[in-house]
A = this chain, B = another copy of it.
Amino acid sequence: MAGQKIQRQTGVALWRQIADRIRTSINHGDFDETGMVPPETTLALQFGVNRHTIRSALAALAQEGIVRAVQGRGTLVERKERLSFPISKRTRFSQGIGDQVRETRSVLLASGEEAASMELARQLKIKTGTRLVRLETLGQADHRPVSRATSWFPADRFGDIAEIYRATGSITKAFKELGVPDYVRVVTEITATHADENDLTDLQLSPGAIVLVAQALNADLGNVPVQYSISRFAADRVRFTVEN
């Protein structure tokens, strides 16, 4: 672990800054040899804080299930997590990370119908007020939540997509049944922000965590927009890969 300086009086508690740093170190593989985090007293010395502050940080990581403290022995690394998520013309959730995990699953959290806002109309190249189907979905890899997405589809073409998606758990399959044999990613916008309340519950994050936000437009082979989606990924668990 390099660069141990910690910022004080910035609105971010020391224990949280330290927890974030240790989590990053774990994901980076810094403790792979021993499988353990350094002793609390060592960390306290490294970060220049009191041992109790280190304990608060480790308690937060234990709450996330990333480490587990064992009295008398030390603090064990329980779980590392960062999946590589490719972004290309043929971006699909399950295919991209399929070879990195044993099982991928997509579940429908909610669905509904609404009128296109100005922003959505602009993206999907339709008129404001056009009816849209909205799907709220959760992507899982090996039973761990990875992404949370809201998607919009023109209701005239895809009015029944919620039903089919609920049955198949796949957007690709639902498109096929509705007469779209194939589709391509037109553009993806990527930003990062702090996790909001829904992220915390759906993605099982701890407050202060970071989410990568991908806003994507998919079109059919005739280049007609078929889906606009906003996906939120736990930044600790994924990495985006753009291949040109």
Contacts and interface: CB of A to CB of B under 8 A. Distances in A.
Interface in A153-194: 184-194
A75 interface: no
A242 to B, nearest CB: 4
A123 B230 CA distance: 31
A152 to B, nearest CB: 17
A210 interface: yes
Contacts of A88: 244
A17 interface: yes
Contact of A12 (B7, B84, B207, B244): B207
Interface of A: 3, 5, 7, 10-13, 15-17, 19-21, 24, 60, 82, 84, 87-89, 184-194, 196-198, 200, 206-208, 210-212, 235, 238-244
B5 A12 contact: no
Contacts of A242: 87, 187-190, 242
Given A3-B196, A7-B200, A189-B240, 13 more contacts: A3-B198, A7-B208, A10-B208, A11-B15, A11-B60, A16-B208, A21-B194, A82-B191, A87-B244, A186-B244, A190-B241, A190-B242, A210-B210
